[in-house]
Chain A
Amino acid sequence: MSGLYDETAAEREMATHTQQESRKGFFTDTTLCIGCKACEVACKEWNQLPADGYAFTGNSYDNTGELNGSTWRHVAFVEQLRSGALAAPAAPPPQSPAQSQSQSQSQGAPTGGHQVVHPDAGRWLMESDVCKHCTHAACLDVCPTGALVRTEFGTVVVQQDVCNGCGYCVPACPFGVIDKRDYDGHAGKCTLCYDRLQDGETPACAKACPTESIQYGDVEELRTRADARLAKLQREGQYTDASLYLRDTGDGIGGAGAFFLLLDKPEVYGLPPDPFDTTRDLGRLWRHAGYAALALVGVTALAALGTRR
């Protein structure tokens, strides 16, 4: 896949910001998510965020709806079951005693290679979403006050005491992550627990996740881990639909600090299929605008000259 950016240049650019620390991020593996929402609660507890409201949505078990200024982790629930499908048989025929005897007597490496969640019944997808901490973060680029910064961990953080609530960052985010809060007028989003990172601690969500669906660490290492995980799932025939989302540094945001292993298309989870840095064309636009302005100046000058003549 040809990248919109030169990956190495992008990473180099990142590196100039992050002399002290290696880039930190999340790898969220949805095949391990049990939908317990411990991440949502741990995030709000640690970051002292208020509840958003108490409305039954009817959208499966998701009652918080989306990421916003005060919800920095959000678990999506996607029901993909067909009516009556739970009754459909999907069983191997029973073995004869002789067959099974030989199997159970054989030296026992685990069988492996079975289909997780048999397909006839359908499935219930769960995905814990979070700020992607983009390599090319539009929110950061458009922030006029400098409240949004790239930290020494390569993460993107809003400084609450600098944010003036202008809200430019909100439409800039290609994922709809960052949002302005009603209660204090500031923009808010995941900081990757910047305060915890400074003390060498794991972000609250990853710490609370009981099944290691949310994995925290050096982005480079997480990418290697994600690649290995995908390869294993494909090799063993588990989750043949699995793919990595935002892991590719050649994508529209130059890869993300927080990337995902998904079991369906991104849009099924409410994620944009082909996100790009909304400021990527700014330079070109300004150049064109500059040329236009220059041309205008030239035409005016010519006209002036012509008049004088």
Chain B
Amino acid sequence: MPGLGTTLGRGGATTFQQDLQHSDCILIMGSNMAENHPVGFQWVMEARERGAEVIHVDPRFTRTSAVATRHVKIRPGSDIAFLGGIVNYIITHERWFHDYVVNYTNAPVIIDPRFRDTDDLDGVFSGFDAKQEAYDLASWQYEDLDMTGSAGRRMGSTVSGGKLVTHELSPSEKAAVDRPLEHGEPPHVDFTLQHPRCVFQLLKRHYARYTPEMVEQICGSPKEHFLAVAEALCANSGRERTSAIAYAVGWTHHTEGAQFIRTAAMIQLLLGNIGRPGGGILALRGHASIQGSTDIPTLYELLPGYIPMPEEGMTDLATFLYETTAKGGFWGHMDAYMISLLKAWYGEHATAENDWCFGHLPRINGDHSIYPAMMGMFEGSVKGFFCVGENPAVGSANASLHRRAMANLDWLVVRDFFEIESAAFWYDSVEIETGVLRTANIKTEIFLLPAADHMQKDGSFTNTQRLLQWHHKAVEPKGDARSELWFYYHLGKRIREKLRASSDPKNRAINELTWNYPELGALEEPDAHAVLREINGWGPDGKALDAYTKLKPDGSTACGCWIYCGVFKDEQNQAARRKPGHEQSWVAPDWGWAWPANRRQLYNRASADPDGNPWSERKRYVWWDAERKEWTGHDVPDFVKDKPPDYVPPDGAKAEKALDGRSPFIMQGDGKGWLFVPDGLVDGPLPTHYEPEESPVDNALYAQQSNPVRERWPSAINPYHPSGSATGADVFPYVMTSYRLAEHHTGGGMSRTLPHLAELQPEMFCEVSPALAAERELVHGTWATIVSARSAIEARVLVTDRVPDYEIQGRPVRVVGLPFHFGRRGIAVGDSANDLWSISADPNVHIQETKAATCDIIAGRRPRGPALSALVNDYRRRAGLPAEE
């Protein structure tokens, strides 16, 4: 999310899958789109049939590679070296889109003189605090002007590497925070892009070492292949042509995943591909409605619509707003969004006098994401857990740790269709087998509650392209199965009933909530339409609002998620619209509803030149109609409709009025795409290649081996292998990577139990190259045991040329491929790949690194019972790691 969010202003995919048909070149990287998004992949095929290049850069030759026009191999975890190489190629060969870059990005902005690059400091940026393993971001700012990251908070503190880092502002820094844009511009800019401290020059120097030769050394991708990719992107970008980039969790599951994605966004800005038809970045989500689950978040650090969760010390709303309101753009209305949210949640109880109940919101003081929460369970500080829509006993890194953590809870609620591994671990798990857990000693009270599926309830999915699609209930849920909405609503009602008589002020946060949806039918199912209507919000007259621009900071409007405002426009459920594609334009604005404002292509003002004319006829999309004095085109313009291209903000202008008529990135404080990110990312303003937590090689670029602020939880239950040339690293000589198959769904709870899917991929297997098979005497179709310091698992052996071998810095590197769906329950069973992984995470989004680590592989089945622990302990001893507890 912040990879795109900090660079472009919003974390969502900039484009929509149907638009891929207009691409002249599509780069798919960090994604196996044909296997994991097969329905959307039809548009990639459409583009290919129209003559587009389809390039798949991936560690394996997959079903996506099979239909691409080119497959290029890449060592797992080395993507920034490859993408940084493309940045270098673009700059070296002067292939950047000059007019786009100068006008629409922050390339001309001059950065604080205190800034030092990784080249100066051998792998870290200025502001690095080695003791805290965190950055102070102050020196990354624009010179004399402090910019807030999109929906971020102002300078002074940052949660970095799981820690809250505070920084006392100097008087000049305070002045920079309070300083506005000058007629839409920062105070120091060089439109010739020559100033040594301007973003463009910093970028040029930073990536100068990412040469094709270096790419080959680090990624193992043949230089000629890398050059062909770089050239294809350049040749298919510009006024007449556009290229798109599609990625998925192959990029997010790394200790610097947000930076992988950001590098792609930078390439697209340099080539002028954002906001234009056939261009953009398609963030392919890993799960149904995962986009929705960050829009209306199940994340600890966000409120609906990407409003940041208040942090410790933000005692009142004024402080919060001062810290989070942007100088320009639509984040300048944080007050309207926040107060409308509080009105939706607390209704009549929220008044100006009581700060709109701002005090009822929780405060965060560090990383409270799922992995620290699991550590808390393991250590005993977290007592209860609702496990819904996930299966951590199979699907989470170091799955054994999760099972042991859940075995230490007082209570656990699992809501699912089947008795998944996360509900059955107390009598059926590897730990029971080895004796690490004993059923009699597990005190956890487990409530396994049957869940209704999507055909048994009304509701919406928000898909990969920010599109809300409504589904109607087809049948009543059977037996005790209930929807999530029913469960949480009635749970809330019962809790409120218990707290009703309480006068304890802390309970006001629950007692004063609006909690009054109509209940339908015999099951008393809350009306999902009423929930959607509250998300949309209403005005002073109680009528549904039609746009977020109508939200007010005076308490007269209520809105549950400001970016969804308009989804109930005209009192109609816009998400339930299903006008067939052949009855409307190819953009299909009357199918479902996309946030924001039903825009399908974000930042689409960039499809026109600074004067508002299309860059070319071929790529015409949204443009300025000078006669009617408004923006118009094939999509809803992502711009103030009547703001002319030559608009210059007057003194004192705020929010969107502070941005000029040329700046297309209306969620950014300065309206520009950020090639250099002064705020919003905790691990660097420019993406930098680091090795994964566990790598067979040293970082060829810097002394700093891995992301210096990555999140780690080193302990006897979560040990990390020695990396690179460190002693003991050779005990785990191979690279492992995990992935999904078309035939199964994530942790398998929704697919391994179904005969028609289970028969298609019935067992856990591993994919290895013939060379690796020969090296370890693995026999096709028989068993192999894959070992890490966390555990050992067994898998059937699939020897295939589709897994390439690599040569990295002169030595062979071989890869073990592991699908991660399998577990012990259901029909299609097998050991869980996630038992092998450690937990180390991206410091921005706290997502684990499960796409690249090291392992060993040996022929034959794994030992059973205590002998399994003995095997793992033997490896630990040889690698210099402590024995299992």
Contacts and interface: CB of A to CB of B under 8 A. Distances in A.
Interface string A194-223: 000000000000000011100000000000
A61 B804 CA distance: 17
A114 B69 contact: yes
A101 B48 CA distance: 23
Given A92-B228, A115-B69, A126 B827 contact: no
Contact of A117 (B38, B69, B762): B69
A306 B53 CA distance: 86
B63 A35 contact: yes
Contact of B240 (A52, A104, A114): A104
Given A104-B236, A126-B63, A89 B222 contact: yes
B844 to A, nearest CB: 33
Nearest to A85: B801
A2 interface: no
Interface stretch (A5-13, A75-83, A165-173): A75-83
Contacts of B45: 32, 34, 211-212
Interface of A: 32-38, 40-41, 44-45, 50-56, 58, 60-61, 63-64, 79, 81-97, 100-101, 103-118, 121-126, 210-212
Interface in B36-56: 38-39, 41-42, 45, 48, 50-53
B800 interface: yes
B198 to A, nearest CB: 22
B726 interface: no
B803 to A, nearest CB: 9
24 contacts: A35-B34, A35-B35, A58-B798, A60-B800, A61-B63, A81-B801, A84-B804, A84-B805, A86-B71, A86-B804, A88-B222, A89-B223, A89-B225, A94-B89, A94-B93, A95-B235, A104-B240, A109-B51, A110-B51, A111-B51, A111-B53, A114-B53, A117-B68, A212-B42
B24 interface: yes
A97 B94 contact: yes
A45 B69 contact: no
B58 to A, nearest CB: 10
Contacts of A58: 780-781, 796-798
Contact of B66 (A82, A95, A105, A124): A124
B758 A87 contact: no
Contact of B742 (A36, A103, A109): A36
A230 B798 CA distance: 34
Nearest to B771: A83
Given A86-B804, A94-B227, A211-B42, A118 B70 contact: yes
Contacts of B95: 97, 100
Given A37-B742, A113-B51, A52 B66 contact: no
B66 A123 contact: yes
Contacts of B48: 116
B763 A86 contact: no
B481 to A, nearest CB: 21
Nearest to A81: B801
Given A104-B239, A108-B240, A126-B66, A64 B38 contact: no
Contacts of B42: 210-212
Contacts of B741: 61
B618 interface: yes
Interface of B: 24, 34-35, 38-39, 41-42, 45, 48, 50-53, 61, 63-71, 73, 89, 93-95, 222-225, 227-228, 230-231, 234-241, 616, 618, 741-743, 755-763, 765, 769-771, 780-781, 796-798, 800-802, 804-805, 827-828
Given A79-B802, A210-B42, 10 more contacts: A34-B66, A35-B34, A35-B35, A54-B827, A87-B804, A89-B225, A91-B228, A94-B93, A114-B51, A114-B69
Contacts of A111: 24, 51, 53
A214 B781 CA distance: 31
Contacts of A44: 756
Given A41-B757, A51-B756, A86-B801, A34 B762 contact: no
Nearest to A125: B66
A63 B819 CA distance: 15
Contacts of B828: 54
B253 to A, nearest CB: 22
B9 to A, nearest CB: 27
Nearest to A212: B42
Contacts of B616: 108
B61 to A, nearest CB: 6
A50 B61 CA distance: 32
Nearest to A93: B227
A60 B758 CA distance: 16
B686 to A, nearest CB: 24
A100 B73 contact: no
Contacts of A97: 93-95
Contacts of B227: 91, 93-94
Nearest to A104: B238
Interface-centre pick from A51, A52, A56, A107 (highest chain B CB count, 10 A): A56
A113 B69 CA distance: 11
A50 B758 CA distance: 11
A108 B95 CA distance: 18
A45 B228 CA distance: 44
B358 to A, nearest CB: 47
Nearest to B798: A58
B376 to A, nearest CB: 38
Contacts of A63: 759-762
A58 B265 CA distance: 40
Given A89-B222, A104-B241, A111-B51, A94 B230 contact: yes
Contacts of A122: 801
B759 A211 contact: no
Contact of B239 (A38, A105, A125): A105
Nearest to B68: A117
Nearest to A58: B781
A191 B578 CA distance: 31
A130 B817 CA distance: 31
Contacts of A96: 93
Given A34-B67, A86-B73, A104-B236, A124 B743 contact: no
- In the A-B complex, the 5 residue pairs with the smallest Cβ-Cβ separation, listed nearest first, are A110-B51, A91-B228, A112-B51, A51-B755, A89-B224
B765 to A, nearest CB: 6
B521 to A, nearest CB: 28
A81 to B, nearest CB: 4
A97 B89 CA distance: 11
Given A87-B222, A90-B225, A124-B802, A117 B759 contact: no
Contacts of B755: 50-51
B581 to A, nearest CB: 14
A60 B780 CA distance: 11
Contacts of A101: 238
B70 A124 contact: no
Given A56-B796, A95-B231, A110-B51, A105 B73 contact: no
A5 to B, nearest CB: 35
B320 to A, nearest CB: 46
A119 B693 CA distance: 36
A52 B827 CA distance: 13
A28 to B, nearest CB: 15
Contacts of B234: 100, 104
Contact of B50 (A54, A82, A110): A110
A126 B224 CA distance: 28
A122 B73 CA distance: 13
Given A83-B770, A100-B234, A104-B239, A53 B759 contact: yes
A175 B235 CA distance: 47
B159 to A, nearest CB: 40
B196 to A, nearest CB: 24
Interface-centre pick from B73, B240, B796, B828 (highest chain A CB count, 10 A): B240
B801 A108 contact: no
A205 B804 CA distance: 33
A210 B41 contact: yes
Given A34-B63, A105-B238, A115-B69, A55 B762 contact: yes
